[in-house]
Amino acid sequence: MKLENKIWDKAECLSRDEIENIQVQKLRATVKQVMSVPFYAQKFKEIGIGPEDIKSVADVRHLPFTTKTDMRNNYPLGLMAVPKEKVLRFHGSSGTTGKPTFVAYTKNDLEMWSDMVARFLYAGGARPGNTAQISFGYGLFTGGFGLHYGLEKIGSSIIPAASGNTRRQFTLLQDLKPELLVCTPTYALRLIEYMEEEKIPRESLNLKVAFLGSEPWTEDMRLYIEDKLQVNTCNNYGLSEVIGPGISGECVYHTGMHIQEDYFLVECLDPETLEPVPDGQLGELVITALNKEAMPMIRYRTRDLAYLISDTDCPCGRTTKRMSRIKGRSDDMLIIRGVNVFPSQVEEALLQCKDVTPNFLIVLDRPGSLDRSVVKVEMAPAFFSDKMSEMQMLKNRLEETIRSYTGIHFEVDLVQPQSIERFTGKAARVIDNRPKEK
């Protein structure tokens, strides 16, 4: 196949000078644009910086950071740079206080998002005429819609299967014979498990490529999924605070995820000193959106740890900087079955329940293919009952409360008072036994 057939957009193949030239111009325009948002205007004024101070890409370092806390403090729409009438779509992501944080998209934002997703899908082998099964949740979560738009843009037909109901997923996979599958890596594992349980022959499927994302996964998982499903897998990255999936994605060569550099300026910083780390060294990704209208984002601290790759060329011909898989977090956020969860949410939930002490321990496992999440909670002696029905009700009530705070089901394991270890410093609230990459 010739090079021009494999690249969706020539913006993916620019020289370093050309890319940086585009980035600096867009960054300057973005700084000018966000002056209309009081949150940014005030911060910029304090530092004494304006659009005229942006002369090179490195000048981004003079700009202040934006954090999840800033988004919460400006809840619901304080970071918006356009009037609400210009917004075509809202999405949201889970927050630590039980309320989501909202993000907004104009018509142009949705157009850009579609384009970004189309680029990585095309790089991974999606083509017009293919059929794609999207087994991501649709809704406030950006995954389903983001991938949907990208596939539509390419001209692949879409089966919006959404998540869950594994039996029906296989009916669709077997009867509509999609070549492409979109889901989380752990859901791919679940599909494999189901396929083996039900003895579904691989020949009854027509899958060629699986686009996996929205949670961290490992090279071991890749080998396993590729072997069992007999597909090529492509990783992709994004976060709803910045836009959603598509900030970067792998091509067929698996050399790292190509960053859409004309749309995003990605820095990799030491999370302690906040100074840049050299390419190849692990740091926190800090992302500035260069093209967004409804909700621009300046130096968003993603808390995702990865490294940038620039020392080798990718055989696909794209010249964009690449990034590694997500290797961890610089805060204590957990990703459980694709949902972001903070231990502090569990703590808040337990503080609402008088029947237990707020001492808890989260234990995560992956016994089969899906994450199992357990919270060990210390009983308060005053609420102990000799009746099993009351104890069961207590457990159910705790599980419901935790679900309302975190959005996911935790199994509650009641334990004795004083049996969870006390720490003098920062409490170790999590034991994560899920497989991870060294």
Partner 1 sequence: MKTAKQLSVFLENKPGHAYNICKTLGDAGINIFTLSLADTNQFGLLRLIVENPETAGELLKKSGVIVNITELLAVKIDNRPGVLAKIYELLSSLDINLEYAYAFAMRRIFLLRVSDNEKAFQILSENDFTLLSHEELFSDEN
The residues binding partner 1 (CB under 8 A) are 379, 381, 384-389, 391-392, 395, 411-419
Residues whose CB is less than 8 angstroms from the CB of residue 251 and which lie 6 or more positions away in sequence, other chains included: 120, 123, 124, 234, 258, 314, 316, 318
> Measured from the CB atom, is 3 or 393 closer to partner 1?
393
Q: Which residues of 176-200 are buried (b: 16+ CB within 10 A; e: fewer)?
A: eebbbbbbbbbbbbbbbeebeeeee
Cβ 430 to partner 1, closest distance in Å? 19
Cβ 387 to partner 1, closest distance in Å? 5
CA dist 222 and 210 (Å) reads 10
Cβ 392 to partner 1, closest distance in Å? 7
Cβ 16 to partner 1, closest distance in Å? 58
Of the CA atoms within 13 Å of residue 115, those in its CB half-sphere come to: 16
Q: How many residues belong to the chain?
A: 438
CA dist 210 and 143 (Å) reads 14
* Contact of 320 with 19, CB cutoff 8 Å: yes
CA dist 128 and 111 (Å) reads 18
> Rg of the Cα trace of the chain?
23
> Measured from the CB atom, is 219 or 413 closer to partner 1?
413
> Measured from the CB atom, is 417 or 435 closer to partner 1?
417
> Measured from the CB atom, is 77 or 374 closer to partner 1?
374
> Measured from the CB atom, is 79 or 377 closer to partner 1?
377
Cβ 86 to partner 1, closest distance in Å? 51
CA dist 134 and 159 (Å) reads 6
> Measured from the CB atom, is 415 or 427 closer to partner 1?
415
Please state the φ and ψ torsions of residue 394, each to the nearest 5 degrees. Answer: -60, -45
> Measured from the CB atom, is 48 or 381 closer to partner 1?
381
Of the CA atoms within 13 Å of residue 73, those in its CB half-sphere come to: 8
Cβ 326 to partner 1, closest distance in Å? 33
Closest to 269 measured CA to CA, from 79, 30, 65: 65
Residues whose CB is less than 8 angstroms from the CB of residue 416 and which lie 6 or more positions away in sequence, other chains included: 378, 379
> Measured from the CB atom, is 50 or 417 closer to partner 1?
417
Cβ 412 to partner 1, closest distance in Å? 8
